[in-house]
Each structure stands twice: as structure tokens, then as C-alpha cells.
Amino acid sequence: MAWSAHDIAKALADELETNDVVYLDAGLPRLVGEHLAGRAVIAVDRSGLIGLGPAPRGRERGLQPADGGETVTVISGGAMAGPVRAAAMLRRGWIDVGVVEASQVDAAGDLAPSDDESAPGHLREIVYGVGRLIACLQHQLPDGSPALSQKLAPDERNLSPANCALVVTELGVFRPTGDGFELLKSASSVDLDELASRTGAPVSDQRDRGSGSHDPQPSDDPEDEDDLLASATPPPD
């Protein structure tokens, strides 16, 4: 059974390490904020919200981000720094992990932007400004051709070298190796032969050898989250 959008977001959240500052781009990556409860991770979005939380529940009050996204909550100690400072955090190397939506990724870790990407320059800042890049996308293009390929077709919009560390689709979590992809985790009942037929590069099954993923542990000390926020928040101008 293929993963839903929230399953993909949960799989993305599971790949974050304790104390990571993660930049969530618009679209599906924003759903990762729904799955960070209990994790010592600080999420930053395109609007400059530091400490992005889940959507408000019940009578809980939320915040409408400046980028026009869905209403969200802000974790304790969070702040609205604004899009200019969010971009500055990327340029200064203050972001550990970036999560972006792509349309294709190849075995070298290069990516093609999502067709819905409205700010290719900003996407480039994310790709080249973060310490580790994770892409999410559908496993196949609308025409049925593979979205994970051996080599991207030449296109001026492609980002190369992008050095994408991990790729998450509705079928699983993959690591580009240069020669193909390693399958680290998969949706239930995924048949490897079928998966290989839907992928445009060799797939090596590494599910039984340890995923190499990181399962962040909740902080035992609530002050840890405050310290992390303090380190992530840009100083005043």
C-alpha cells in the first residue's frame, strides 16, 4: 500500500536528527511540521517562521504565514523572523537540513524542480545553503515514466550538483548512490520487482541492513528546546 502525503511527511520527519534546524519549503514539506511533536527539532519555513508547529486543534489559535500557507501554530519560544532573515539563515549556513519538493531526482542526487515551483531562485538558495538536502516527490511522473532516474535529461531548470542525500516517495525512502538508489525503508507490501520496474535506475534493497536513518529521541529537558531556538534565531539587525 502506497504512503499518503502524511505518511511521506512522517517518513521525512523520521530522517531528522536531534537538534536539527530544518527548512521546510512550500507544499508537501510543510506537512512535516505536523510530525515534529516530542522531537528536539526546530522547523523554519519560507515566511521566516522559526518554530513551526502543527495546524491548530479545536479552539487553539493559529498563525497565517506570510507565504500564504495553511494556518499553523508556533512552538513555545518560536518567532516570526520574516522571509528576509529566513533567506539570510540559508545563505549563512545556519540550516542543517532542507526539505524540498521535486519532480525528478537522479542517481547522482541532482534534481528537477516541481512543476508547481514558483520561486526557482529561492529553491536554489535552499539546495546550496543547507547542510543536508532531502527531496520528496511522486515515484512516477504524470505520464507514467520514472521520477527516479539514472540521469536527468538536460534542462536549464535542473539543479546540479544538488547532492540530494535522501529521496522520499509514496513507495519508500531512497538514497542516491551515483550508480542507482538504495531502498532504505518502504511502504507496506511493496514488491521489489514492481518497484524496480517503476524506477529508472538500479535499486538495491538495503532494508534488512539498517536504514542508516536517524530516529530522534524526545528531549528529557524542556530547556533543551529553548536553547535550540535561541541558537536558531537570527540576532537583531
pLDDT tens digits for 100-133?
999 999 999 999 999 877 677 889 999 999 999 9
Residue 215: pLDDT band with limits 50, 70, 90: very low
Q: Find where cell 536549464 sits.
A: 156
- The confidence score (pLDDT) of residue 222 equals 44
In a domain, 216, yes or no: no
In a domain, 197, yes or no: yes
In a domain, 15, yes or no: yes
Cα(170)–Cα(195) distance, rounded to whole angstroms? 11
Closest listed residue to residue 207, CA positions, set 222, 221, 226, 187: 187
In a domain, 180, yes or no: yes
pTM score, whole prediction? 0.84
CATH classification at residue 25: 3.40.1080.10
Q: At what angle do helices 83-91 and 120-129 cross, to 10 degrees?
A: 40
User: At residue 134, does pLDDT exceed 70?
Assistant: yes
Could you write out the DSSP letters of every residue in 3-29?
--HHHHHHHHHHTPPTT-EEEE-SSGG
Q: Mean of the pLDDT values across residues 145-169?
A: 95
Give the range of the structural domain holding residue 174, as residue numbers without chain letter.
5-211+221-232
Structurally, the chain folds into a number of domains equal to 1
- The confidence score (pLDDT) of residue 95 equals 97
In a domain, 186, yes or no: yes
In a domain, 76, yes or no: yes
Residue 81: pLDDT band with limits 50, 70, 90: confident
In a domain, 109, yes or no: yes
